[in-house]
Amino acid sequence: MTQTHTDAIRFLKKPLWICLLSLITCLLLLSHALLHWQQARQQLHEQQQQLTQAQQQQQQIARSRQIYQQHRPQYQQLHQQGLFQSHPETQWLSALIQLESDYPDLNWQYQLGPARQINPEQPHYQIYHNPLTIELKPRHAQQFIHFMTDLQSIAGWLQFAQCRLQRQHPGQFPALSARCQLYWISISLPEGTS
Amino acid sequence: MMLLLIMLTPRQAIAQLRQKQSIVQQRQFPYQAEGYQQLLQWLPAQPVTTRILVNLETEEFQQEKLPPLRRREQQALLQHKLQQYFPDRLFRLGLNSRPLQYLSAITDHQRLQPWIEILLKQRFPLQGIYSLPWLSHAILHQPAWPLQLLLSWDGEAGLRQTLFDARQVRLSRLTPATREQLEPVLIQSVHQMYHYLINQSIVSPRQTLVIRLIGQDIASLRPLLPDHEHLQYYTLPAATAPGLHTDADSPADCLPLYFDWIARKTPKTSYATSQQTRFFRWQRGGKYLNTAAAGILLLALISAAALYLQSAQLQQQTQQHQQQYQKLLQHSMHLSRDVTDPAISARDMQQLVQTMQQYQRHNYAPRQVLFPVSQLLQRYPHIALQQISWNNQADPQTLTLHAVLAGFTGQYQQARHYLQQFQHSLAQSPLQPVQLNSPLLQRSVQTIDDQQQQSLLNFNVTLQFNRAAR
C-alpha cells in the first residue's frame, strides 16, 4: 500500500466509519420502524377481520332472534302437542287401547304401520310418519266426529290423508261406516337435546 | 471552522489563522530554514484547511488569441500553450476566456516549495495556491471596461499594478516600495506603465484607461498622479471596496484586504496541482460523506418517525376496533341470551314450523269437513247424503259427496230446480264446487222413461277446499 493510499485512508477512515455507522443505524431504525408498522398493520387487519366476523355474527344472531321470536310460539306449541317424543309408538298404542275402552260399541279396527323418515336430507332433525288406518261403524256422524276428535287429542300430530264416511244399506246397524287413512307424525331431535 | 491563510510576499511569508472570518493569530516567517522551522512549530496540531496567496514579483503573464475550437480542444491548446510559454515552471495556470487565452506562471518555485512541503508533510489540506492578480478581479464589480488598471499597495510587498482586460488579468507588476518610497514609486510606475501600454499598443493614445486606486495610503496620493483626458481615476478605500466587508478601522495598506479576499473567495484558478491538493480533496470527500451520512440519518429518522406515527395511528384504530368488537360481543351475548336453544337452531326451527304449517294446511279433520257440509244440507232437507269422502293428499284437496234427491218422484222439474238452488248455495259456501254430475241437469225431462226415474235423482258433487276460508 502506497503512502497516498495510507493518507487517503487516514483522512477518510473516520467519515467512512461515521457513514457506515449511520447506515447501520438507519437500517436498524428503519427495520424496527417497518417491523413495528407491519405489526400494527397486521394487528389492525386481524382486528378488522375479527370485527367484521363479529358484525356478521351479530347480524346472524339478530336474524336468529327475529326467527326465534317469530316462530318460537308455534314451536313451543308443537312441543306441547307432544310432537317431539322419543319412541312414541308405545304411548300411541296405550292411548289407542284407552280409546278402545272409551268407545266399546264402535266396533273399530286400526292398523299402525312402522315409522318412515320422510326428510333424510335434513341432518338436524328427523320427521317420521307412522301410517294409521282406521275402520269403524259409528251410529251417527256426531259419534264419528267425537271419536276422531278424541283420537287427535292423543299426544303427537295426526295428519288425515283420506277419509270416507258412507251410509249403510237401509236396515243395517249401525247406520254408518267410515274408513280413514292417517299418519302419525313425530319429530326426532339430536340426542340429548329434546 | 479554522482556516489557515499564508501569503507569500517577496520578503517573507505571512500566516494567518482564522476562525469564522475572525483572525485568531498572525505571524511572519522569513524565507530561511529558521522560518520554515518556526512555521512547523507554529502550525496547529490539528490540520486545517489552508489557502496560499502568492503576492510575488516573479509571476509572468501571457495572452493568446483563442481560435474557435471545441471545449476539449481549447483545453488541449491551453496545455500546449502553457508548455510552450512556461516549459520548466512548476506553478502555472491558464484560462480560456474568449477571445483570449490568459496564461501565467511563477518563475521561482523555490520560494513556494518549502512551505508546501511543510504543509503536506503535516497533512494540511491545501485547498489551492492562488495568485493575487488573478484574485483581485473579484473586486471589479463595475461594468467591464475594456482596460482597467488596478493599483494597490501594501507595506510588505509594495506597489502592485494589475491590468485587466474585460476582467481578466492581462499583466501585473509588483514594485517593492516602503511607505516612504511609495510617492515617487507610484508616480514613476504609473508613468512607465502608461507609456508601456502605449508603446506595446495595448492602449491606443485616444483610448480611455480607467485607473482604480485601492487603499487610503495610495488614494491620498491621487493629486500627484498625472492628469490626462484619457486617464480616469477612481479611488476605492480598502474599507469600502465593493463586495468586500473589512472592518471600518482597517489599516491603510491593502494587506488585510488581500487576506480578506482570500478568506472569503476561492478562485477557480489555482497553481496547485492535484497531488498538492489531495488532502483537501480527501477532507472534502470526508465532509461529503459526513453530510451524506447526516442526510441519510435524517431521512431515516424522518421516515422512521413517519412510520412510528402511522403505526401509532394504526394502533389507535386497532384499539377503536377492539372496543367496537367488545361492544359488539356484549351486544351479541345480550341478543343471544334469550334466543339460544340448544335443541334446534333458528333456521331449523323456522323450517320445522313452516313444514308443520304446511302439514296443517293439508290436514282437514272430520269436524272441519262435516260441519260446513251439515250446515249446508240443513237448508236442503230433500237431499239425502249417501257418502262423503275427502282426500287431503290430492292437490287440490277435494271433497266428494254422493247424495240422492228424496221426495221428488215424478216431479223432476221441481227436483232440477231444487238441485240448481243447491248448486247456487254451494257456490256461496266455503267449499268451492268443481263439478256436479246429475242426470237431471244433463237431459230433458220429457225424454225420461220410468225405468230411469230412480237413477235420475242420484247426483254427486266434487268440491274443493277453500284454503282462504280456513
Q: How many CB pairs under 8 A join A and B?
A: 223
* Nearest-CA distance A94 → chain B (Å): 22
Q: CB distance A37–B345 less than 8 Å?
A: no
Q: Do B123 and A7 touch (CB under 8 A)?
A: yes
Q: What is the pLDDT of residue A169?
A: 86
Picking from A81, A105, A103, the residue whose alpha carbon sits closest to that of residue A91 is A81
Per-residue tens of pLDDT for chain B, all 470 residues = 899 999 999 989 999 999 988 889 999 999 999 999 999 999 999 899 999 999 998 999 888 888 888 888 988 999 999 999 999 889 999 888 878 888 999 998 898 999 999 999 998 999 999 998 888 776 665 556 678 888 888 888 889 999 987 778 888 999 988 888 888 999 999 889 988 999 988 888 888 888 888 877 788 888 888 888 888 888 875 554 444 444 444 456 788 888 888 888 788 889 999 899 999 999 899 889 999 999 999 999 999 999 999 999 999 999 999 999 999 889 888 887 766 666 788 888 889 999 999 898 888 888 888 888 888 899 999 999 999 999 988 878 889 999 998 888 778 888 889 988 998 888 887 777 888 888 887 766 555 565 566 677 888 999 887 665 55
Contacts of B357 in chain A (CB under 8 A): 74
Which residues in chain B touch residue A164, judged by CB atoms under 8 angstroms apart? 387-389
Quick check: B367 and A8 CB within 8 A? no
Rounded percentage of chain A residues whose pLDDT exceeds 70: 97
Most A CBs within 10 Å, among B322, B349, B357, B377, to test the A interface: B349
Q: Which of A36, A57, A185 sits opposite B359 (nearest CB)?
A: A185
Angstroms from A69 CA to nearest CA on chain B: 8
Contacts of B335 in chain A (CB under 8 A): 58, 61-62, 65
Task: Quote the distance between the C-alpha of residue A136 and its chain's center.
Answer: 40
Instruction: Please tell me the predicted confidence (pLDDT) of residue B244.
Output: 47
The packing angle between helices A89-102 and A141-152, to 10°, is: 150
**A5 contacts in chain B (CB < 8 Å):** none
Given CB atoms, is A18 within the 8 Å cutoff of chain B?
Answer: yes
C-alpha torsion sign, points B367, B373, B378, B381: negative
- Min Cα separation A116/chain B (Å): 16
DSSP A60-105: HHHHHHHHHHHHHHHHHHHHHTTTT-SSTHHHHHHHHHHHHHH-GG
Cα–Cα separations (whole angstroms), residue B463 to B157, B210, B399, B432: 142, 136, 5, 5
Residue whose C-alpha cell is 484560462: B95
In eight-state DSSP terms, residue B14 is E
The answer to whether residue A45 neighbours chain B at the CB level (below 8 Å) is: no
* pLDDT for position B394: 84
Q: Residue B392: list chain A partners with CB under 8 A.
A: 159-162
Nearest to A193 among B332, B342, B365 (CB): B342
Beta-sheet pairing, B100-106 with B91-97: antiparallel
Smallest Cα distance from B439 to chain A, Å: 22
Does B385 contact A16 at a Cβ distance shorter than 8 Å? no
Pairing relationship of beta strands A126-136 and A116-117 according to DSSP bridges: antiparallel
Compute the nearest-CA separation of A77 from chain B (Å): 10
Q: Which residue of B has its CA nearest to A24?
A: B297
pLDDT of residue B252: 61
Complex ipTM: 0.79
Which residues does chain A have within 8 Å of residue B299's beta carbon, measured at their own beta carbons? 26
pLDDT score recorded for residue A45: 95
% of residues, chain A, pLDDT over 90: 42
Q: Which residues of B touch A182 (CB under 8 A)?
A: none
A67 touches chain B (CB under 8 A): yes
Query: CA nearest A15 in B: which residue?
Result: B286
List all residues of chain A from 109 to 148 with a beta carbon under 8 Å from chain B: 119, 122, 124-125, 127, 141, 144-145, 148
Closest CA to B260 of B240, B235, B284: B240
Lowest mean pLDDT among A74-88, A102-116, B454-468: B454-468
CA distance A2 to A38: 49
Quickly list H helices, chain A: 3-80, 89-102, 141-152
Give contacts of A146 with chain B, Cβ < 8 Å: none
Inter-chain contact A40–B314, Cβ cutoff 8 Å? yes
Q: How far apart, in whole angstroms, are the C-alpha atoms of residue B245 and residue B267?
A: 18
* Beta-carbon separation of B389 and A164 below 8 A: yes
Which position has the grid cell 486606486? B213
CB-CB neighbors (< 8 A) of A143 in chain B: none
pLDDT value at residue A194: 43
Is the Cβ pair B285, A23 closer than 8 Å? no
Q: Is the Cβ pair A144, B366 closer than 8 Å?
A: yes
Cell of B291: 453530510
